[in-house]
Amino acid sequence: MEPEIRDETRFYERRLRDEAKQHYLLRLYVTGFTPTSTRAITNLKHLCEEHLKGRFELEVIDIFQRPALAKGEQIIATPTLIKLLPAPMQRFIGDLSGVGGKLFGLDLKPSRRRPPA
């Protein structure tokens, strides 16, 4: 009996399509309307709109208004982003500037931009 030969090109194309359909559930913990909190929200929204358009759900939680949630998640610094889905769960601390490392941590690929004409 011959071993089954898999069409690798089709396999990888299917994987890429599946990845493009993944839905992201993100939770950002901030402390009020500080410049760092505002910067984190702005940076995260930009990252999501550019790389996850239509595939993300974002919840922003002010720990001053909802301290029990922060305690339950063991938030020790803000801003803190928690990627709940897709697994594995990841945490990022800071204002989310410097997108390169965040893309890797969120399991995203940089968008392929066409060079200017």
**Tens of pLDDT, residues 35-53:** 999 999 999 999 888 888 8
Assign 26 a pLDDT band (cuts: 50, 70, 90).
very high
- Give a yes or no: residue 110 inside a domain: no
Domain of 69 in residue numbering reads as 22-105
- Is residue 29 scored above 60 in pLDDT? yes
- Give a yes or no: residue 91 inside a domain: yes
- The DSSP line for 15-83 is HHHHHHT--EEEEEEE-TT-HHHHHHHHHHHHHHHHHSTTSEEEEEEETTT-HHHHHHTT--SSSEEEE
Q: What single-letter amino acid sits at 21? A: K
- Give a yes or no: residue 14 inside a domain: no
pTM of the model: 0.72
Identify the CATH number of the domain in which residue 27 sits.
Answer: 3.40.30.10
Q: What single-letter amino acid sits at 3? A: P
Residue 86 CA to residue 7 CA, distance in Å, equals 27
**DSSP, res 88:** S
- Is residue 76 scored above 50 in pLDDT? yes
Q: What domain count does the chain have?
A: 1
- Give a yes or no: residue 98 inside a domain: yes
